Amino acid sequence: MMLDLETAIALIRDTLLLQPGTTELLRLGGGALRLAFYVLLAAGLSEAVGESVVLFVNRVSPRRFAISLLISAFIFAFGYLFFALSVYLLARYALRIDVPFSFVAGMVALGQAPRLFGYLSFIPYLGLPISVLLWIWSVVATIVGVAEGLSLAPLEALLTVALGALILVSVQRTVGGPLIALARLARRQAAGVPLVTNRREWLELIDSAPEPGLAEPRVRARRRPGRKPGGAA
Amino acid sequence: MITLLIAVAIGALTLSLLLSPIETLGWWAGWYGEGLEHPHEASHAAYRRIGGDKEPRQFVVYLDGIAKVGAENYDDVQGLLNQLDAALPRAVILGDLMPYSVRNVGLLDERPLARFWRRMFEYKLAGKHSLLAFSINIRNLFQVLVAADQRYGPVYGRGEAQVMLTSLLRAGYVPGSGVPITVLGYSGGVQIGIVAARFLKRALDAPLTVVSLAGVMASDAGLDALDRLYDLRSPSDHVPLYGRVLFPGRWPLARGSHWNRLRRDGRLVNVVLGPMRHNGSESYLDDEAFANGAEVDNQTATATAIIAVLGEIEGSAVDAARS
């Protein structure tokens, strides 16, 4: 079943406005589920655009920049599908709710609709608070969807989503290591350069390779605890 | 109709905000085709010094406010720089940088929207369509936000430091000479000077001071590189207060911030000027202002205050060299 444009827009709008009734269409599967996954992919792409400063700072070429954005969108989508899997397992085995995985995945995917605005985090100075707000908004949208779809009280839905996230993080840090490494490798291959992502290394990169006139950055001497700098031993 | 206009304006502002970091990041990523070592060769400013040859005891780099469009200065700005040049025989004044472009490319030069900016500049000079002409200020204000952003600021600072360094070297600055450098910023130009300070200090290892004229600035790591920051402002000008409110690092609560460290170390010097507005008539650079019913020359009053500060910086450098 294909969704018409009007229904598709209404479904996304209702999710953004945290309105009830969004899971009814997902329960039918087909077009609504497909739409939810398109939303997830588009949200991933939008987030990747918002965070593209990493690609610029690492001096990625325009062609590889575009490829990197697409790869990041897929990695984002896969990440949320794994999150959906942990919510599904909780619903099935802890809460004894019999729902198909595709339905839970659709709920989680549609809950990321607020992050369709993720590109706004590229805005200077205001971008970081915007990205935090979008993240909170998408968490709330996911909780609203899970509460409705699994017929849970809001607090139960909150706990389910929080536990789902906890399981995901635990799995990522243990058996999920190879998948994380694979995602990193895919990002690096797409960018064509080793990607520096943490702030300290980032500043070192900007400080490095001095052009004529700019001197080498000085390596700061590390102080030993309990000793005054420069003082006699 | 009004709703549509407001929607179009909000859309245009959002798009403009979104695109504002592109020049800085694109330059860093090499997307403009030039290396990091030089600003854009074809369109950079002439790097002219104000006045004739001097035996310098100080180099002053002026970074104009957000109305700046290119290498040429507005008459009131040029008037101020000429007064500084005349009063300080041992100071080299550089005043033709475009602080709102890490490539030092003016709005009227090689840009996709150069025609649009030329038209806006004509409006600004003619005093017509002031709301449209204000788009120049908004465009440059967004660059101040880019410089204040912790993600983009270091890249901006590196680029701007390179522009300032090129200007200094072409004006005869000898690296390693220890001749003090003063960045004189007006309004948003102060933020640009501060983000460049860390890199400029590293490049030249000379005494570095920022003189802020009604500056709007964030608490940036560049403040740590400054020997001093002179903050000149009028109590009747509220624009510098926006920086104090909008940038959390400037709040007294943020005790460990770069700004509060600057204050605690005694490197912040406040200089209170007479009643002046931020821009336009009766502003810091107005040479035909009126106050209390009498005609006054704010530009000269501002220049006198800056000359006193620059003289103090020069004097301390001489004292330091002697000792």
Residues of chain A with pLDDT under 70: 1-2, 209-233
**Chain A CB within 8 Å of residue B20 CB:** yes
How deeply is B202 buried, as exposed, middle or buried, from its count of CB atoms within 10 A (0-12, 13-18, 19+)?
middle
How deeply is A21 buried, as exposed, middle or buried, from its count of CB atoms within 10 A (0-12, 13-18, 19+)?
exposed
Inter-chain touch B148–A206, beta carbons under 8 Å: no
3-state DSSP assignment of residue A233: coil
Q: Report pLDDT digits (tens) over B87-119.
A: 999 999 999 899 999 989 999 988 889 999 999
Distance from CA of A140 to the nearest CA of B (A): 25
What pLDDT is recorded for position B64?
Answer: 96
> What are the chain A neighbours of B150 within 8 Å (beta carbons)?
128, 199
What pLDDT is recorded for position A220?
Answer: 44
Range of the structural domain that residue A82 is part of: 5-193
- How are beta strands B289-291 and B58-63 bridged, if at all? unpaired
Q: Is residue A211 part of a domain?
A: no
CA separation for the pair B323, B317 (Å, rounded): 10
Tell which wins on pLDDT, A39 or B36: A39
Q: Nearest by CB to A56, which of B28, B148, B162?
A: B28
What pLDDT is recorded for position A27?
Answer: 86
CA distances from residue A9 to A3, A32, B119 in whole angstroms, order as listed: 10, 11, 40
Instruction: From A145, A144, A120, select the one nearest A132 (Cα to Cα).
Output: A120
How deeply is B30 buried, as exposed, middle or buried, from its count of CB atoms within 10 A (0-12, 13-18, 19+)?
middle
Mean pLDDT of B14-35: 89
> What are the chain B neighbours of A218 within 8 Å (beta carbons)?
202
Who's near B223: CB < 8 A, 6+ residues apart?
A: B194, B197, B229, B258, B259, B261, B262
What pLDDT is recorded for position A232?
Answer: 31
Q: Is residue A221 part of a domain?
A: no
pLDDT of B33 higher than 80: no
Range of the structural domain that residue B209 is part of: 2-322
For an interface test with A, the pick among B16, B151, B219 (most A C-beta atoms closer than 10 Å) comes out as B151
Q: Is residue A215 part of a domain?
A: no
CA dihedral (A74, A77, A81, A84) in degrees, to 10, reads: 170
The reply to whether ipTM tops 0.90 is no
Q: Is residue A232 part of a domain?
A: no
Mean pLDDT of B55-68: 93
Inter-chain touch B203–A206, beta carbons under 8 Å: no
Domains of chain B: total: 1
Mean pLDDT of B138-164: 94
The encoded tokens of residue A156 equal: 């139960």
The encoded tokens of residue A224 equal: 């030993």
pTM, rounded to two decimals: 0.89
> pLDDT-based confidence at B138, cuts 50/70/90?
very high
Task: Name the percent of chain B lying above pLDDT 70.
Answer: 94
Tell which wins on pLDDT, B33 or A13: A13
Q: Report pLDDT digits (tens) over B248-260.
A: 999 999 999 999 9
Q: Is residue A124 part of a domain?
A: yes
Q: What are phi and psi of B297, to 5 degrees?
A: -115, 90
CATH of the domain at B256: 3.40.50.1820
- Cite the DSSP H helix spans in chain B: 2-19, 22-29, 75-87, 114-126, 130-133, 135-148, 153-170, 189-204, 239-246, 258-264, 298-322
Q: Report pLDDT digits (tens) over B180-195.
A: 999 999 999 999 999 9
What pLDDT is recorded for position A223?
Answer: 46
Q: How many helices (H) and strands (E) does chain A have?
A: 10, 0
Q: Is residue A18 part of a domain?
A: yes
**Chain A CB within 8 Å of residue B307 CB:** no
Per residue, the 3-state secondary structure of A82-100, as one string, reads: HHHHHHHHHHHHHCCCCCC
For an interface test with A, the pick among B18, B138, B140, B166 (most A C-beta atoms closer than 10 Å) comes out as B18
User: How many contacts (CB atoms, under 8 Å) link A and B?
Assistant: 80
What pLDDT is recorded for position A28?
Answer: 80
Q: Is residue A106 part of a domain?
A: yes
Inter-chain touch A212–B151, beta carbons under 8 Å: no
Secondary-structure percent of chain B, ordered helix, strand, coil, rounded to 5: 45, 15, 40
What pLDDT is recorded for position A227?
Answer: 41
Domains of chain A: total: 1
Q: Report pLDDT digits (tens) over A52-102.
A: 999 999 999 999 999 999 999 999 999 999 999 999 999 999 999 999 999
What pLDDT is recorded for position A156?
Answer: 93
